[in-house]
Structure 1
């Protein structure tokens, strides 16, 4: 958590090949320059190892934020809208030919490659959609980067202040992503033609907005939820805090946290229904993550209701709520050992498989790979098992209360409660000085023949000066060899 998005890549495109601007002749050239930076940054980011991608996210966000004002200026010029009080007159010469590689669609795989095929777009509107979608995904990845130190168990656990700062930074990034996706979904309402892929459809934008809201809501709960940190401490050999106070949550907040988790579950369910209704074109991994997030959110709500019951002396009801949490997660449970050893009874093979899965997830978090791809189901399972072992032992030796059926408790779950509202996204605009400078004619040509593919590392050589057309292959362009 949050979802490990993969950033898209794109082919080269030069605006002067399809657009001209009478009022600001240098606008197409400047837009092409900033788009080239975005293309190179996305291509470089794709080829970096996972740990290096974390430090490169700021470059991705910066390049996209620098490119968007020029893209929106051309979009405003096509619609004869003023920017900063200045009229921009952009003329469409030919339909643009741009390629983007989607990352959420179940597209056809290129023969001989493991990557999905690129989609061709011939509208500037879809260029706006892909650029903003990439920015929203980058914001979500920044939230993951801020949270990653909290899940590493090979080093000493982070302090309280650092933990709160990481959660606040991640929440801000997720709310920014939700704002961008909400803008895209509203903008898609005016489109008549079907999008070229599911990545930039209205359903996908609505789903990503709901997903970001769900994850931000769960982070608001995680700020005051001590149990995941306690479970992580138990696995961390470098933890020197061997004596700590038992986790405490004020009783007045347990119901609030449960309702927040249920609101997150509703957002995740809405996102899943939107993507599942997109004709089966969305990635199965993305759909599975949305379903896992819904389950995890409801299981967290059951845990907080269990904590509330245990604080009130109803240990049997608390254990029933924990069992309801396992049921929401889809985890099969057998009778808990009366010795309080924790976990379900089962053979050595199932225990070995469980421990191997947990170690693999810890290694993913340490390496910065696709950790948390199960929407924190494993983490919540660990917390439920810890509380179940503790309370079962207490109930068997001290309280001896009956455990009510889980079905009756699930029917009594409260409704969700929202904590965040989406702030409207305002497209970035060029300032007056930049617009005034682009009234001058361009100082160089916008050559569209040098970057034909987003997968090539080298620039295709242009035709040598003075060469007869079609004979450029006969000219030596590298370092000459002397015999």
Structure 2
């Protein structure tokens, strides 16, 4: 499933403190105001409960999309480029002093369990573009998770076919938008000479996140017509009344096509893993949990490809080869077959209880929206493969009795992947000509960096008290302008 990103937070900043714009004097003030809204929105999002964060994602994305045209206008002014044919003259007076909290790395500091990594200091507006755009791409990925969430709930009635198709289409669009943004940032980062302040905005991390989003979008193209995950989910759903359903069937040609799409997703995930595993930058290295997710996604994609090759063989009457493909899929996932586990330990019952407990725990995470799908769909694929293995083994033992070939030669003859999506180049948002013309007027007030917004956040490290007291989403503790504690 789409990676469960954590959105970053940032400090207050006044553009007027570092630059001036002779052609459009109100541009720095308007950019500071929009950035202040983004800052308050990100901080408010962090303090919400997981269930409340889902609908709030659209507010976060809207705030970032409203801020980015002003940021790109300033960027164009610094680079002596016109916006919609209008020349913008921006003069950098002093180096900016911004702070962003990384979410994929520790920012160079040793990780402390239960505590957020420290913010990294940014002294270039170039990296302000990187952090703002990457936050928007992460928000798009999280929106894809929200769209797919109803498909994995086992406490409500299963979604209909039309609702399922709509959810997958919306999630695919969000993931492709995220992939385009990360691809744009990776290309832009590769042209820079300076070392990034943290690995989150390094060229390797941006390229890896683009490949990750593309891999997840490719798997959604398979999920749209893959009936087996829904059948396995219905089997665990107490609210499912459609107990009499037609056995799922997949045309032979599509099964082979789905397998090649899964291999393409595996190749993208492998590329992302190679870019992040063992790499370190001046500000530290990518978190192990993200690297592990990339490896799990690679394994899950290959295992899913093996499953579809097995379906293709079973439809052709080669039940023994189909079972071998399923065994190959379990091998890719690093899961031993039940017979092998029982022979080694002699106590298969304990392993079965542990497996059932893990599955119930994951179902609870889905219900409560608590970091569900962090295994990249590995557990779901294991369930599907074990269901098909039990069915086909029983069928082979009673009817066909075909020999099961070794899995090594099967894995060696796997074809290459096949792409289904192509990334559209990301186009930086531009301000309307009327807005640009209006900003030729002098500013009507002082630029205080957006001020203290609706959340009442004034300092750069105001999260600390809320983190220590555990007040997130239950009544936050903040400091107002006078320094007096406010409880609300």
TM-score, reference length from structure 2: 0.91
Computing the radius of gyration over CA atoms, which structure comes out larger, 1 or 2?
1
Query: 2: CA distance between counterparts of 1:39 and 1:278?
Result: 30
Deviations 1:251-291 (A, max 9, x none): 11111000000000000000000011522700100000000
Residue 93 of structure 1 corresponds to: 93
Question: What are the within-5 Å matches in structure 2 for residues 286-301 of structure 1?
Answer: 286-301=290-305
Query: 1: CA distance between counterparts of 2:272 and 2:139?
Result: 19
Q: CA deviation at 1:32?
A: 0.3
Residue 149 of structure 1 corresponds to: 150
Query: 2: CA distance between counterparts of 1:447 and 1:35?
Result: 11
Q: CA deviation at 1:120?
A: 0.1
Secondary structure, aligned partner of 1:221: helix
Residue 24 of structure 1 corresponds to: 24
Query: 1: CA distance between counterparts of 2:111 and 2:443?
Result: 39
Q: Confirm whether residue 318 of structure 1 aligns to residue 314 of structure 2.
A: no
Residue 351 of structure 2 corresponds to: 350
Kindly tell me: are residues 93 and 298 of structure 1, through their superposed partners in 2, closer, same or farther at Cα, counting changes over 3 Å?
same
Q: Is the 8 A contact 1:178 1:212 kept in 2?
A: yes
Kindly tell me: are residues 399 and 359 of structure 1, through their superposed partners in 2, closer, same or farther at Cα, counting changes over 3 Å?
same
Deviations 1:172-226 (A, max 9, x none): 0000000000100111122111000000000011000000000000000000000
Q: CA deviation at 1:452?
A: 3.3
Secondary structure, aligned partner of 1:91: strand
Q: Is the 8 A contact 2:211 2:271 kept in 1?
A: yes
Kindly tell me: are residues 355 and 110 of structure 1, through their superposed partners in 2, closer, same or farther at Cα, counting changes over 3 Å?
closer
How many pairs were matched up? 460
Residue 460 of structure 1 corresponds to: 481
Q: CA deviation at 1:337?
A: 11
In structure 2, the gaps of 5 or more residues are 453-457, 464-477
Q: Confirm whether residue 52 of structure 1 aligns to residue 52 of structure 2.
A: yes
Kindly tell me: are residues 346 and 215 of structure 1, through their superposed partners in 2, closer, same or farther at Cα, counting changes over 3 Å?
farther
Query: 2: CA distance between counterparts of 1:203 and 1:17?
Result: 32
Residue 194 of structure 2 corresponds to: 193
Q: Is the 8 A contact 1:335 1:345 kept in 2?
A: no
In structure 1, the gaps of 5 or more residues are 339-343, 462-472
Q: Is the 8 A contact 2:178 2:210 kept in 1?
A: yes
Deviations 1:44-91 (A, max 9, x none): 000101110000000000000000000000011111111111110011
Query: 2: CA distance between counterparts of 1:433 and 1:454?
Result: 37
Residue 309 of structure 2 corresponds to: 305
Query: 1: CA distance between counterparts of 2:316 and 2:340?
Result: 23
Coordinate RMSD, CA, aligned: 2.0
Q: CA deviation at 1:459?
A: 4.1
Question: What are the within-5 Å matches in structure 2 for residues 204-283 of structure 1?
Answer: 204-279=205-280, 281-283=285-287
Kindly tell me: are residues 203 and 112 of structure 1, through their superposed partners in 2, closer, same or farther at Cα, counting changes over 3 Å?
closer
Query: 1: CA distance between counterparts of 2:114 and 2:261?
Result: 43
Q: Confirm whether residue 81 of structure 1 aligns to residue 81 of structure 2.
A: yes
Secondary structure, aligned partner of 1:99: strand
Residue 405 of structure 1 corresponds to: 406
Residue 204 of structure 2 corresponds to: 203
Q: CA deviation at 1:334?
A: 3.9
Q: CA deviation at 1:478?
A: 11
Query: 1: CA distance between counterparts of 2:404 and 2:301?
Result: 23
Secondary structure, aligned partner of 1:423: coil
Q: Confirm whether residue 71 of structure 1 aligns to residue 65 of structure 2.
A: no
Query: 1: CA distance between counterparts of 2:424 and 2:295?
Result: 26
Q: CA deviation at 1:397?
A: 1.0
Deviations 1:370-404 (A, max 9, x none): 10000000000000000000011111111111000
Residue 380 of structure 1 corresponds to: 381
Q: Is the 8 A contact 1:109 1:117 kept in 2?
A: no
Query: 1: CA distance between counterparts of 2:420 and 2:287?
Result: 29
Deviates more, 1:35-44 or 1:326-335: 326-335
Q: CA deviation at 1:96?
A: 0.4
Q: CA deviation at 1:347?
A: 2.4
